[in-house]
């Protein structure tokens, strides 16, 4: 890894991203032309110290996950993202692996959906990014690691007490997500992490193994979900899954019928999310 060039590129791209473009408050008395290191660290989910050491060339060999997170936080185009991977001494993810790049257009769309719980997942149902409303609704994923950020893994091996499903709803969700994983495995045969995820689910979850062995193929697209939130109570919401053509990403958004009790509780949740996840000014 040519660490000085990597750090210089990160700093150069950090300077061109305004806090408003990244969905952050601008604050006052800013000296940085773009994002501060603290803001980039927040967006990428890494420590400020690590960002500093990367930019100064004192840290070498960032993982592919870190490079991907930085590329996403910096709003890099596809060719810029590929260049950042190569500066890190890594081969950019190829066509045989599950893509995780969020295009600037998709990111701008997410920045405008601030009043709804929204997350972006890849074709294997790994969480890539989410907003404060999503974290407030289902729990903050920032501390989750590895397969803990995979929705299918969580459902079969560590189900959340917040989600309330009838046996029929649960069976439909399990069949749809297992079928979606089967389809993703066929599209991305070179993705070792996806194979590892499926192998772990089959070995640790008898229910997943049963559904998998049934040969189900399909896609999870939309559903009505009831979520019991510890502060705002029970919400029954529409959960829609929008697929991004060409990127094989899923934008998952929760919404409520206007004027309903669930809509009012969702607005209350927005206040809760702002109180818990707001970035301090400075």
Say whether pLDDT at 3 is over 80.
Answer: no
Continuous segment of H or E residues that includes residue 74: none
> In which band, very low, low, confident or very high, does the pLDDT at 121 lie, cut at 50, 70 and 90?
very high
Q: What is the pLDDT of residues 69-119, one digit of tens each?
A: 899 889 888 889 889 998 998 888 766 789 888 887 888 888 888 889 999
Residue 11 has pLDDT above 60, yes or no: yes
In CATH terms, is domain 104-277 a member of 1.10.150.120? Answer: no
Locate the domains of the chain by residue range.
Answer: 3-87, 104-277
Contact (CB, 8 A) for 246 and 97: no
pLDDT at 142 over 90: no
Topology (CATH level 3) of domain 3-87 = 434 Repressor (Amino-terminal Domain) (1.10.260)
Domains 3-87 and 104-277 share a fold: no
- Mean pLDDT confidence for 29-44: 83
Cβ(50)–Cβ(38) under 8 Å? no
Reply yes or no on whether the pLDDT at 1 is more than 70. Answer: no
Q: Mean of the pLDDT values across residues 188-193?
A: 90
pLDDT (0 to 100) of residue 273:
67
Long-range contacts of 190-195 (CB under 8 A, 24+ apart): 190/94, 190/96, 190/97, 191/96, 191/97, 191/98, 191/124, 193/97, 193/98, 193/124, 194/97, 194/98, 194/124
At 196-253, the pLDDT tens digits run 999 999 999 999 999 999 988 777 777 899 999 988 999 999 999 988 877 889 999 9
Helix boundaries (H) for 36-103: 37-44, 48-55, 64-73, 78-87
What's residue 281's pLDDT? 37
Q: In this predicted structure, what is the pLDDT of residue 222?
A: 77
- The pLDDT value recorded for residue 81 is 87
Does the pTM surpass 0.85? The reply is no
Residue 277: band (very low, low, confident or very high) from pLDDT cuts 50, 70, 90: very low
Per-residue burial over 47-83, b if 16 or more Cβ lie within 10 Å, else e, is eeebbebbbeeebeebeeebbbbbbbbbbbeeeebbb
Q: What pLDDT score does 275 carry?
A: 58
What's the pLDDT at 223? 85
């Amino acid at each position: 890894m040519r660490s000085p060039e990597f750090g210089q590129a990160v700093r150069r791209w950090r300077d061109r991203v305004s806090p408003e473009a990244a969905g952050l408050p601008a604050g006052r008395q800013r000296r940085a032309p773009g994002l501060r290191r603290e803001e980039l660290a927040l967006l990428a989910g890494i420590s400020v110290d690590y960002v500093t050491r990367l930019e100064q060339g004192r840290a070498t060999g960032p993982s592919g996950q870190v490079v991907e997170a930085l590329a996403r936080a910096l709003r890099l185009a596809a060719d810029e993202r590929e260049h950042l991977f190569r500066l890190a001494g890594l081969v950019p993810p190829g066509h045989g692996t599950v893509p995780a790049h969020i295009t600037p257009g998709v990111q701008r769309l997410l920045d405008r959906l601030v009043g709804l719980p929204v997350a972006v997942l890849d074709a294997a149902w790994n969480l890539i990014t989410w907003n404060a409303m999503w974290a407030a609704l289902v729990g903050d994923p920032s501390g989750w690691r590895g397969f803990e950020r995979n929705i299918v893994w969580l459902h079969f091996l560590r189900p959340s007490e917040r989600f309330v499903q009838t046996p029929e709803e649960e069976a439909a969700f399990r069949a749809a997500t297992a079928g979606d994983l089967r389809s993703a495995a066929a599209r991305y045969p070179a993705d070792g992490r996806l194979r590892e995820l499926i192998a772990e689910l089959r070995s640790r979850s008898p229910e997943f193994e049963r559904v998998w062995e049934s040969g189900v193929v399909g896609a999870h697209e939309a559903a009505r979900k009831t979520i019991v939130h510890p502060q705002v109570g029970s919400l029954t919401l529409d959960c829609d899954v929008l697929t991004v053509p060409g990127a094989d990403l899923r934008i998952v958004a929760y919404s409520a019928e206007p004027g309903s009790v669930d809509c009012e509780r969702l607005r209350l949740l927005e206040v809760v999310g702002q109180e818990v996840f707001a970035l301090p000014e400075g």
